[in-house]
Amino acid sequence: MKKENKQVLTMDPFTKWAHKYGRLFMLLFCVYILAVPMIMCAVYGVWPTFTQMLPGAIAILSINIPVCIAEVGSYTPILGSSCYLTFATGNLMNLKIPCAINAQKVAKVEQNTTEGDAIALISTCVSSIVTLVILFVGVMLFAPLSGVLQNKYISTASNYLLPALFGCMTLGMMGRGNGKTYVKNKLLIMVVPALLISILTIMGIASTGFAGILILLMIPVTILCARILWKLGIVKVLPNPSAVSADKAEEK
Amino acid sequence: MTGATLASSPLLFILVGAGLLAIIVFALYSFKKAKKRCLELGMSEETISAVVKSTISAAIIPSLAILLGFVILSVSLGVAWPWWRLSVIGSLAYETMAAQYTADGLGVALSEILSSDPTVFASVMIVMTIGIIAGPLMIAVVGEKYSTGVMNAKSGEKGEWGTIFSGLFYLAMFAVYIPIMVFTDLPTTLTLVTSMVVTVIVGMLSKKLPILAEFTMAASLIVGMASSVLWASLF
């Protein structure tokens, strides 16, 4: 009986479609990105030897496999069914996730709901296309643009993209959101993990380059803190007054 | 033949163009399906239009930063390959690191890849691709179970704890990023604060002029990043 309930919850037609075709797209995409360098090598007859590639491959895989595991573990629950297109087009933290969160805020929908999932996918599609178009224009106007973009002020400003994005998102995170319920005292859940990361940052260990791994490490800490605070009755779910008043206004 | 022969090959441009076209087609089709679903769920055309406008305005500045990455990378890898790599999966940090490690392994400087033997450029292409493939493969395997599992926790039988649990990934992300930004250096902290202040101001203004709400993120990004130039020169 429980299993049947679960089926109904997970398999609404849109979610089913998004995951089925998302997975298919992702598998074809993996084959294609591997095929591109192989085709080039085959056509030009310039196959590098195994020993030529080995040192670079070991160095990059030893760093990147843990990072990939961390990113998939940390960001997939936030992205929902838009995870496929997001991971295919990259630029997660500096573009796709902030845009998805912003879109859910504009549409006044909650994360991890069918509505939130559909809005996140719309946002991911749009932000992916915007980047592809801008890069295409950049390729077409390569010569004049390279001079402008390498201007020292633009180079400096581009190094501060993440804090500018997080400044905007942080206030949204502090609010009660748009759902029918909200989590009272949810910011208390963050105290212990944020303190741990603060110490690691002051010690010079934590940096944005390792954020994916750090998030993966902090997820169990955050879950444990939330569980304790919930059991103690400090963190609880309450009806959202702003959603209730919006519903009343709509009824009128 | 040198690395530049491969890097500027019309075939590479065709392969990149075809791959990007396939992504655009998938994105447009997904957009159509998601929009239809939103309408079925009772959302208005106006809401969807506001989401699209807000996303476009918010995506332009980060995309320009990615374009800057493309310009930087194109110096050592030509135009076509960085165009492909920064359009799919990659980021400037990863791509530069992967190219650097491969070049180091071959005893070649990053700036010499294009003028070296073509097998050097071929090695760089293969290693950069193999190095990044783990994420997409993992998503293809676990993406559905993982994300629907979290959705179920929220809407399913687990009640109050499920609602709290589904938001914890988001909180963990902030618990990591915010302290790093606050304690790394002063210009980063001040850029974060400036962006927050702009968000508050635009939020207040949007109560009188609701259309502004769609451009909150774009405004915070532009002013926040512009202010970083000042903070970086002062501190």
Confidence of residue A1 (pLDDT cuts 50, 70, 90): very low
Statement to judge: residues B122 and B171 lie in one domain:
no
pLDDT computed for residue B68 by the predictor: 80
ipTM associated with this complex: 0.84
Angle at A127 between CA B151 and CA A133, to 5 degrees: 150
Q: Does B205 fall in a domain?
A: yes
Residue A76 contacts residue B138 (beta carbons within 8 Å): no
pLDDT computed for residue B179 by the predictor: 96
- What mean pLDDT is predicted for residues A43-61? 87
Q: Does B25 fall in a domain?
A: yes
pLDDT computed for residue B70 by the predictor: 86
Chain B neighbors of A246, CB-CB under 8 A: none
Kindly tell me if the per-residue pLDDT of A213 is higher than 70.
yes
The Cα–Cα gap between B126 and B130 comes to 6
SS3 of B107, please? Answer: coil
Statement to judge: residues B83 and B12 lie in one domain:
yes
pLDDT computed for residue B154 by the predictor: 66
Q: Which residues fall within 8 angstroms of residue B79, CB to CB, at 6 or more apart? A: A139, A142, B7, B8
CB contact under 8 A, B105 and A236: no
CA atoms within 13 A on the CB side of B209: 7
- pLDDT above 90 coverage of chain A, percent: 45
Query: In terms of pLDDT, which residue wins out, A49 or B105?
Result: A49
Statement to judge: residues B93 and B203 lie in one domain:
no
Give the lowest-confidence range in A51-55, A83-87, B62-66, B152-156. B152-156
Q: Does B153 fall in a domain?
A: no
Q: For residue range B134-149, list pLDDT tens digits in order.
A: 888 999 988 888 887 7
Q: What is the mean pLDDT of chain A?
A: 85
SS3 of A203, please? Answer: coil
CB contact under 8 A, A39 and B11: yes
Distances B75 to A46, B79, B90 between C-alpha atoms, Å:
22, 8, 17
The Cα–Cα gap between B139 and A218 comes to 21
Residue A96 contacts residue A127 (beta carbons within 8 Å): yes
Statement to judge: residues B74 and B119 lie in one domain:
yes
Q: Does B161 fall in a domain?
A: no
pLDDT computed for residue A7 by the predictor: 45
DSSP code for A176: -
Residue A31, judged by CB atoms within 10 A of its CB (0-12, 13-18, 19+), counts as exposed
Statement to judge: residues B109 and B16 lie in one domain:
yes
**Residue among A216, A17, A217 nearest A117 (CA):** A17
Residue B154 contacts residue A125 (beta carbons within 8 Å): no
Give the distance from residue B165's alpha carbon to the nearest chain A alpha carbon, in angstroms: 7
pLDDT computed for residue B102 by the predictor: 79
CB contact under 8 A, B161 and A230: yes
Per-window interface: A 58-87 vs B, CB < 8 A: 59-61, 63-65, 68-69, 71-72, 74-81, 83-85, 87
Confidence of residue A245 (pLDDT cuts 50, 70, 90): low
Segments forming the whole domain that contains residue B94: 3-132
Statement to judge: residues B128 and B172 lie in one domain:
no
CB contact under 8 A, A155 and B173: no
- Smallest Cβ–Cβ distance between B62 and the set A10, A44, A95 belongs to A95
Confidence of residue A182 (pLDDT cuts 50, 70, 90): confident
Statement to judge: residues B128 and B18 lie in one domain:
yes
Give the distance from residue B112's alpha carbon to the nearest chain A alpha carbon, in angstroms: 16
Give the distance from residue A215's alpha carbon to the nearest chain B alpha carbon, in angstroms: 6
Give the lowest-confidence range in A69-78, A187-196, B18-27, B93-102. B93-102
Q: Does B160 fall in a domain?
A: no
To probe the interface with B, which of A74, A111, A112 has the most B CB atoms within 10 Å? A112
Alpha-carbon Rg for chain A in angstroms: 22
Q: Does B174 fall in a domain?
A: yes
Q: Does B147 fall in a domain?
A: no
CA atoms within 13 A on the CB side of A69: 9
Among chain B residues, the shortest Cα distance to A161 is held by B225
Statement to judge: residues B172 and B124 lie in one domain:
no
CB contact under 8 A, B183 and A118: no
Statement to judge: residues B127 and B177 lie in one domain:
no
DSSP code for A180: S
- What mean pLDDT is predicted for residues A48-58? 86
Q: Which residues of chain B have pLDDT under 50?
A: none
pLDDT computed for residue B200 by the predictor: 93
Q: At which residue do the structure tokens 């089925």 appear?
A: A20
Amino acid at B90: G
Confidence of residue A5 (pLDDT cuts 50, 70, 90): very low
pLDDT computed for residue B151 by the predictor: 72
Statement to judge: residues B126 and B14 lie in one domain:
yes
pLDDT computed for residue A4 by the predictor: 45
Q: Does B215 fall in a domain?
A: yes
Q: For residue range A124-179, list pLDDT tens digits in order.
A: 999 999 999 999 998 898 877 777 777 788 878 888 988 998 998 888 778 777 67
How many structural domains compose chain B? Answer: 2
**Residue among B116, B77, B83, B84 nearest B100 (CA):** B77
To probe the interface with B, which of A19, A60, A104, A227 has the most B CB atoms within 10 Å? A60
- Smallest Cβ–Cβ distance between A122 and the set B48, B61, B124 belongs to B48
Statement to judge: residues B11 and B79 lie in one domain:
yes
CB contact under 8 A, B128 and A63: no
Statement to judge: residues B19 and B125 lie in one domain:
yes
